[in-house]
Every structure is written in structure tokens, then in C-alpha cells.
Amino acid sequence: MELNRRNFLRTAPALAGGAVSAACGSSTANSSPAGWDEVRSEFGVSDEVVDFTAMLIASHPRPVREAIERHRRALDENPAVYLESELNRQEERVLEAAAQYLGARADDIALTDSTTMGLGLVYQGFHLQPEQEFLVSEHNYYSTRESIRLAAARSGASVRTFSLYSDIANVTAGELVDNVVSAVRPATRVIALTWVHSSTGLKLPVERIAEALSEVNRRRDESDRALLCVDGVHGFGVEDVETANLGCDFFVAGCHKWLFGPRGTGIIWGSRRGWGAVSPVIPTFRDNAVRRAWIRGEDPDGETNGARMSPGGFKPYEHQWALAEAFEFHQNIGKSRIAARTHELSRQTKEGLAAMPHVTLYTPMPDELSAGIVCFDVNGKSQREVVASLRKKQIIATATPYQPSYARLTPSIRNSPEEIETALREIRALG
Ligand SMILES: Cc1ncc(COP(=O)(O)O)c(C=O)c1O
């Protein structure tokens, strides 16, 4: 089956505000939740539980659920014909909505299945020489560390780990910026950081880091620049920023956490410079030039971009296409309202925990250095015991998968100040 795709989006600028609903032509155009109770009612999360796991895996809000169901039914009824008739249109809707949300060109966005897949594709895609290095912070999640370990093993490049701060209790943005810049050496080609750490909730000042790195890079040849790659998943769907303006070369995120997109969706955004430094790892189905070259028995020419970095193969299209509704859901509520609400709930959680003598809070208090993840422990109890005690009361927290491991609450727009109070009351009772 030839899956044609028009290319007009490849150079189209991001849509002007408000245009997404019209462009999507979806059934969600009139679903703009006005208040937070209304937002909460869009989710199917059980009323029996107080759920603080938005950072793990999404519960789909109604517009996403309905879009998935619509596509699933049509694909089940007549798979090939529905795919042929919808593929181009739906993929364009998703890319338009993503471009609008990221403040980016659709051409610079790859569609993936998860943060982990995006990180693997980016780090495997670099062409590092044995004398070059990956510079990684010791606070990255497994997905970054393992992607880089595998990429370095193939290329022969080395991996150097550095520390971002000496004491989380006193960390400052200035210290974080200085520590990144001073860790860079002439051999550093790729710098791998995580925007919001799932180990502590610390948020890095990525824009300031990128700005400082651009100074370092001014003295380097183009092919030798240190490129900044960010696992952005725990700021994506939380912070009110335009991803493309953060200043990094690659921004990788899953869409199935804070964005509440379909499970099994993610994006890679790359700068022009970033795309110029990588090659695709998995064959794309999104670029007809590559397929035409294959038919002719030739190698394709042209540059790497978001389409070429999108791993091909047939997809669970009902999920990938419903990503447009997830972006639309966020835009309808408003990025700035979502950021303000998440920070408000997270501040309430942090202040409540910090006031308990038997609790140690690890997440920095300032908004500048935190987002929606709040990590803590309780004197004399393991994080597992804390999580188990809360679950007995139907409060769903998680334990961080790191060493040391902490208990973690991750308030999101699905939660209310009353739910935070409920969790705080139970944690207070553990003292
Ligand atoms: C920082 C970070 N990156 C990536 C992941 C994995 O994300 P995904 O499921 O989208 O691969 C996690 C945890 O789920 C994480 O905490």
C-alpha cells in the first residue's frame, strides 16, 4: 500500500492562536473546560482514589478517549480503506497541533511512541568519533543513561558523568548553570540533561544553560559544537514555554504523562543544527522522497528532519491520531492556566510537607527550580512503607526508581487543593 503524504506542512509556520480547533474540525471544538472541577470531570480516574501519578502514565481525558474510540471503530470496520483515506489528514492535524503547542515548525517534529524511544533515536543517531564524548548529568533517568551507554558502545565515544549541584537543599540556578558550563571540555559533543528530575523534582533552568552554552560554542567550529539534548517529559504539559525557544538542540518528551495524550505517543523536537548532526535509525514512513528513492533503487538525498526521524512501520493509529485532541485539550484550558495551577498545587504540597518535623522535603521550593513533582521522605520509614501507608487510604503516590529512593506526589490539573490536604493529613499522621 502506498501511503502518500502531502508535504505542505513541512515549511508551514505554526498556526496562529485559536486556529487549532478549526483546523482539527474535531468533535472537541466546543469542549473548553471553564473550571477545575470541569477539567477533573473530563477524566475517568476513579472517585475512589486520590491519584497523584500524572507523571507516570496518562489517564485519557474525554476528548482523547472519544477520538481513540472513533478511529478504533473505523479501523476495525474497514482497516485499509480508513487508513488510506485518513492517514495524511490525521497526521497533518497532529503535526499542526504539535507545532502550535511547541511554537515550532511541523517539519522539526518527529512522532514517536515515548520519551524513551525518542532518546534512543536521538542518541543512536549521532555520529560521534572515538575521541569525542557524551557529557551526562548524574541525575538523568535510566532512559537517557541507557540510551547513551548503548550509543557510546557502538561509536567508541566516551561517556563522562558530572554533578549538577552539591546539596539539593541549597541549590541555585546560578550553580546549575555554572556546573554545566564548567563540565564541558573540548571533546564534549553531546550534553544530556533532564528538564525536571523524577528523582527529586528539581527543574533545570534550561534556557539559561542553553544561553551559557552558546557562549562556549561561539569559539567552536560548527561540526564541533557541544549540542544540548533535553529529556523534557516532566515539564511538557506543565510549563508555559515554547519548546522551540528553550535553546536546546533536541527536546524529547512522551505525550502520555502530563500532556494526558494517548498512551504510546511522544515527540522529538530538533533545531536545524540538531537535525544536521543526526541520521535516522529506523526507516520512516513519513517521507515519500525516501520511499521513491527505494523504488528507484537509489539512496535518498536531502536532510534529516522530523519526518525522517519518525520511526516507521504501521502504528496504533487510533492512539497516534488522537494526539491532536490532547494538544487541543491543553490549549483550550490554556498553557498559562495549567502552569499556574500545577505550580500552585505543588507549592501547597511542598509547604505542607516542609512544615512537618518528621518529613524531609527534597524538591526545591522556588517555582524557578521545580514543577509538578514533589519528593520527600518520612523519618524512620522507607519510601515503600510511606507509599504503602498512603495506598491503604486510597492515596496513590509512587516511590522514585533511583538510589536513594524517595516518596513522590505529583499534583496535576486533575487534582484539587482538598485532595492535597487529604494527602498531607495522612502524611502528618505518619509522624
Ligand atoms: C525523566 C524521565 N524520562 C523518561 C521517562 C520514561 O518516559 P516514557 O514512558 O515516555 O518513555 C521517565 C519515567 O517514566 C522519567 O522519569
Q: Spell out the per-residue pLDDT of the chain, length 431, in tens.
A: 334 433 323 323 333 333 333 333 333 333 455 699 999 999 999 999 999 999 999 999 999 999 999 999 999 999 999 999 999 999 999 999 999 999 999 999 999 999 999 999 999 999 999 999 999 999 999 999 999 999 999 999 999 999 999 999 999 999 999 999 999 999 999 999 999 999 999 999 999 999 999 999 999 999 899 999 999 999 999 999 999 899 999 999 999 999 999 999 999 999 999 999 999 999 999 999 999 999 999 999 999 999 999 999 999 999 999 999 999 999 999 999 999 999 999 999 999 999 999 999 999 999 999 999 999 999 999 999 999 999 999 999 999 999 999 999 999 999 999 999 999 999 999 99
Last residue of a domain, one of 330, 358, 392: 330
Assess whether 119 and 164 both reside in one domain.
yes
Residue 204 lies in a domain: yes
ω before 404 within 30° of 0 (cis)? yes
Closest ligand 1 atom to Cα of 253: 10
Q: pTM score, two decimals?
A: 0.92
> What CATH number is associated with residue 397?
3.90.1150.10
Assess whether 375 and 403 both reside in one domain.
yes
Assess whether 301 and 393 both reside in one domain.
no
Assess whether 246 and 366 both reside in one domain.
no
Residue 257 lies in a domain: yes
Assess whether 152 and 254 both reside in one domain.
yes
> What CATH number is associated with residue 188?
3.40.640.10
CA of 268 to the centre of ligand 1 (A): 14
What is the distance between the alpha carbons of residues 207 and 144, in angstroms, rounded to a whole number? 20
Assess whether 131 and 187 both reside in one domain.
yes
CA of 119 to the centre of ligand 1 (A): 10
Query: Which residue's C-alpha comes closest to atom 12 of ligand 1?
Result: 141
Assess whether 219 and 288 both reside in one domain.
yes
Last residue of a domain, one of 311, 330, 349: 330
Assess whether 343 and 278 both reside in one domain.
no
Residue 47 lies in a domain: no
Closest ligand 1 atom to Cα of 256: 10
Assess whether 132 and 223 both reside in one domain.
yes
What is the distance between the alpha carbons of residues 186 and 36, in angstroms, rounded to a whole number? 50
Assess whether 204 and 345 both reside in one domain.
no
Assess whether 116 and 228 both reside in one domain.
yes
Structural domains in the chain (count): 2
Torsion angle of the four alpha carbons 148, 57, 385, 421, in this order, in degrees rounded to the nearest 10: 130
- End-to-end C-alpha distance for the chain, whole angstroms: 64
Residue 45 lies in a domain: no
Residue 387 lies in a domain: yes
CA of 198 to the centre of ligand 1 (A): 8
User: In a mutational test of the pocket of ligand 1, which residue from 113, 119, 141 has the highest number of ligand atoms less than 8 Å from its CB?
Assistant: 141
Quote the domain boundaries for residue 292. Answer: 106-330
Residue 15 lies in a domain: no
CA of 186 to the centre of ligand 1 (A): 30
Residue 414 lies in a domain: yes
Degrees to nearest 5, angle at CA 115 with 95 and 410:
105
Residues with CB under 6 A from ligand 1: 114-116, 141, 143, 194, 198, 231, 233-234, 254, 266
Assess whether 240 and 156 both reside in one domain.
yes
Residue 228 lies in a domain: yes
